[in-house]
Amino acid sequence: MARHQVTVTVNGEAHSREVDSRLLLVHLIRDELALTGTHIGCDTTHCGACTVLIDGVPTKSCTVLAVQADGADIGTVEGLAGADGMTALQEGFQQEHGLQCGFCTPGMLMTGTALLLSNPNPSEAEIRGAISGNLCRCTGYVNIVKAVEYAAAKMGEDN
Amino acid sequence: MAPRTSAKICGMGHSMKRKEDPRFLQGKGNFIDDHTLPGMLWLDIVRSPIAYGKIVNIDSSKALEIDGVLAVLTGKDLEAYGLHWMPTLMSDTQMVLPIDTVMYQAQEVAGVIATSRYAAADGVAAVEVEYDPMTPVMDPFRALDDDAPVLRVDKEGQTDNRIWHWEAGDKEATDKIFDEADVVVREKMHVPRIHVASIETCGCLADFNPVEGHLTVYMTTQAPHVIRTVLALVAGHVGLSEEKIRVISPDIGGGFGGKVPVYPGYVIAIAASVVLGKPVKWIEDRMENLQADSFARDYHMDAELAADANGKIKALRIKTLADHGYADAQAAPSKWPAGLFSICTGSYDMENAYAEVDAVYTNKPPGGVAYRCSFRVTEAVHCLERIVDTLAHKVGKDPATLREENFIPKEAFPYHSPLGWEYDSGDYQAAMDMAKEMIGYDDLRKEQAEKRERGELMGIGVCSFTEVLGAGPSKDFDILGIKMFDSAEVRVHPTGKAIARFGTKSQGQGHETTYAQIIAEELGLPAAHVQVEEGDTDTAPYGLGTYASRSTPTAGAAGAMAARMIRDKARKIAAHLLEVSEEDLDWEPGTFSVKGAPDKSKTIQECAFAAYTNLPPGMEPGMEATNYYDPPNLTFPFGTYICVVDIDRGTGEVKVRRFVAVDDCGNIINPMIVQGQIHGGLTQGLGPALYEEMTYDEDGNNMAGSFMDYLVPTAVETPAWETGHTITPSPHHPLGAKGVGESATVGAPPAIVNAVVDALAHLGVTHMEIPMRPDRVWEILREKGVAG
């Protein structure tokens, strides 16, 4: 099988790896770069547990080849919290009880992060629409919606 | 109820933010697929494409030529170790890998062991299996025909496809009431096969150390201790001994009952690790998960209610056919093959009842896991709450009113049900009153009448369920003979911080927080200072695990009892330190003070320090306690749910406009977490009511084997749930709590069905089968001439 040199920037850090043509991006992230916060839930782009940001766009990394991401700037859940602690959205998830088992949570956070960047004050319907490609079996979504609203409100205050 | 403890202590009643959240929010969870070990190999599984047939040949040669593929394990390989069959938790048997026959589509046929995930998958694709297909039996009614092929020819003495017959109640007395009743209503209904579909699939990492004969298994299991015992029992003959088996259940990405049973994949991974002497990891992909394991329900019920002309219920009679698939692999207590189905008389006082269930084998994968349900309570509640509506319709009464007129009155508790349960406590009218008030019931009925005039289809559905959970009193409940108690071990360190370990295992329920709050409530230590651990059989006390809403009723009670034992010791130490007698001390959470001299006091932390530094003469040092809690009875949470739906006449789509859930789970430990449990449970009730169903064609092909076809609710379909609570404490639980994790999954589906039937009742519709997909609803609209 052909091997390819792939360079990606993940959470601001550049990584270069030689990979098989068929290696999925999610496996590059999890198995090669040991960033296991990104999860695999379905293999068919339905559940969204593997959502990462590729050049700022929420993307399901279980159906992207690593070679397709060559040169990309990738954001994963590990890159959200910084020196100041968790982001407003992460904080919102804890304050509003937006997670239970925590397995879908990284994908929800990445989708929510992208939503708030493009739409700082989303309506409930807009939030529900944005996360409709991220399945959660524990929370019933109500508190995930509230978590995004919490973050929008907090980010609005800060600005 | 106002919390008894301060916000700093954060005992019961505080909506404490979860201690487990920061790791999940920052990508530092520790799920099964996050584990790796040096030299780790990968297992992937060859699965049967057919539902029933003979294996003519398995050719592994091409697979073994693939770079990285080390071995292909077949049933014959496992037979050499006596590991090709295993017992189910219901004392049935099932194949780990087949020798000559496959019994369901997606059945495990061979295991490929390789050095990488990808090589293992390549190996699976290269294993060539030749089958001689046979005609499968997919219909459970067909399975009972005299000329149906006997599927389980492996079982000695098995001459048909029946597994067992179970019945409860006085048939003769019930029949007599039916013979003399003014009104009898009857509905046939199917609660179809569904799937837990936790976002994390099943998996394990088996690590056998051949030098020490020690096996460590990291495993997605809700019941690690029982699994360890089962492994010791079934693999003792190959040298696995219980003290040399360690089962570690890491963070679990949703369980819902699907991670209670032992699946062949786990056993193949363990066998591979034992054979190869290396760590072996197995992670199901989603399609394997949806096609091979974690199935629930599949009860065909024929229900009748007898009543007087005013709608006073006299008796209930249910005949049921249970489709278990290839094996009775459900995870119910031994003496309860139909689970707790006899809760089917629910919230209503009636003279008598009779229920029977016949279980059959078919060529479906093994089913019957207690999916977010205390062992068949979902099926029982669905049946009763549906037919009560049929009765209301028949006698011309509002379904809420008919329920109220039949409720077991609150003065009647403890209530003895006709099928043998002693309900601990209840106030059903209070929950009904709150639900009606919250949703504005009377106004909705007016709105419905107006809309009906205009030809719009709007319905209001009510469900007033009673659950039975918290198994169990050990005299009645066991799994493979192991009594269904649960346990806690609490240790307070010299500096007043504590660790508490439990025999259960959280899968998202928030035990690290709620258990800490229980200890905080009883000891007055801040919950933030109580570290909770579960899931490691080497460190946690033995317990039966987390399912059937049993954690708070059993392990939670054990935690309270252990903490009380520590508090009793602390009282002796405080008396010693203050030089008074124990009787002269008052207790406020966290502090003992001298009666009449409140400034003379010792904190629980000071007592803890003294337990290691300044003991009363003769007292055993240290500050820890263990409790194995055997509950005196089950608990009986209840609630009333009211749902409002609008039906699109053009498409048949059902939209849940509002849904009010009033639950009574007794005293509440963490209101925020309880509300979260209700939200999630309601959504897992919405799914089966409207979307989810695992169907098979006549050849045995799974028709919903990916998330493309198995439709779980997204944020768009799911309504903004509205919740309320009444509180009727359990009189026998140390904290007055009852458990809550599954009430909403049980109560939601009939509320939604009742709303849809209510929207169509004026057209003569009395029942709808679930899931109420748009095509199914639209077909009825067309038949009735109202399709838009």
The token pair at B116 is 């990488």
For A139, name the nearest residue in chain B, comparing CA atoms only.
Answer: B680
pLDDT at B188: 98
Tokens 């007292």 label which residue? B619
The minimal CB distance from A97 to the residues B196, B197, B673 is found for B673
pLDDT at B67: 97
Tell me whether residues B21 and A94 touch, CB distance under 8 A. Answer: yes
For B361-396, what is each residue's pLDDT tens digit?
999 999 999 999 999 999 999 999 999 999 999 999
pTM confidence score: 0.98
Q: B716-736: string of b/e by CB count within 10 Å (b at 16+)?
A: ebbbebbbbbbbbbbebbbbb
Contact list in B for residue A62 (CB cut-off 8 A) is: none
For B18, name the nearest residue in chain A, comparing CA atoms only.
Answer: A94
Q: What residues are paired with B94 via a beta bridge?
A: B86
- Angstroms from A90 CA to nearest CA on chain B: 6
Question: In whole angstroms, what is the distance from residue A149 CA to residue A89 CA?
Answer: 9
pLDDT at B111: 98
Q: How far apart are the first and last CA of chain A?
A: 51
For residues B479 and B555, the answer to whether their CB atoms sit within 8 Å is no
For B509-525, what is each residue's pLDDT tens digit?
999 999 999 999 999 99
For residue A96, the 8-state DSSP code is T
The answer for B 496-525 residues in CB contact with A (under 8 A) is: 507-510
- Mean per-residue pLDDT, A12-20: 98
Contact list in B for residue A80 (CB cut-off 8 A) is: 25-26
ipTM of the complex as predicted: 0.98
Per-chain mean pLDDT for chain B? 97
pLDDT at A159 over 80: no
Rounded to the nearest 5°, which phi and psi values hold at B270? -65, -45
Contact list in A for residue B681 (CB cut-off 8 A) is: 140
Read off the pLDDT band of B494 (50, 70, 90).
very high
C-alpha torsion B110→B115→B119→B123, nearest 10:
-20
pLDDT at B18 over 80: yes
Q: Does A86 lie at the interface with B, CB-CB under 8 angstroms?
A: yes
Q: For this structure, is B373 an active site residue? A: yes
Read off the pLDDT band of A158 (50, 70, 90).
confident
Read off the pLDDT band of B224 (50, 70, 90).
very high
- Mean per-residue pLDDT, B88-109: 96
The token pair at B22 is 């920061």
pLDDT at B561 over 80: yes
Q: How far apart are the first and last CA of chain B?
A: 50
**What are the E-state strand segments in A61-130?**
73-75
User: How far is residue A65 CA from its own chain's centroid?
Assistant: 17
- Mean per-residue pLDDT, B94-108: 98
Burial class of residue B474 (count of CB atoms within 10 Å of its CB; 0-12, 13-18, 19+): middle
Read off the pLDDT band of B745 (50, 70, 90).
very high
pLDDT at B234: 84
- Mean per-residue pLDDT, B592-614: 97
The secondary structure of B664-695 as a DSSP string is E-BS-S-HHHHHHHHHHHHHHHHHHHHT----
A contact test, residue of B14, B19, B26, B514 with most A CBs within 10 A: B26
Question: In whole angstroms, what is the distance from residue B350 CA to residue A153 CA?
Answer: 53
For B275-324, what is each residue's pLDDT tens digit?
999 999 999 999 999 999 999 999 999 999 999 999 999 999 999 999 99
Read off the pLDDT band of A129 (50, 70, 90).
very high
Q: For this structure, is B742 an active site residue? A: yes
Of the CA atoms within 13 Å of residue B734, those in its CB half-sphere come to 22
pLDDT at A149: 98
Contact list in A for residue B721 (CB cut-off 8 A) is: 140, 142
A contact test, residue of B714, B722, B752 with most A CBs within 10 A: B714
For B710-722, what is each residue's pLDDT tens digit?
999 999 999 999 9
Read off the pLDDT band of B472 (50, 70, 90).
confident
pLDDT at A43: 87
pLDDT at B720: 97
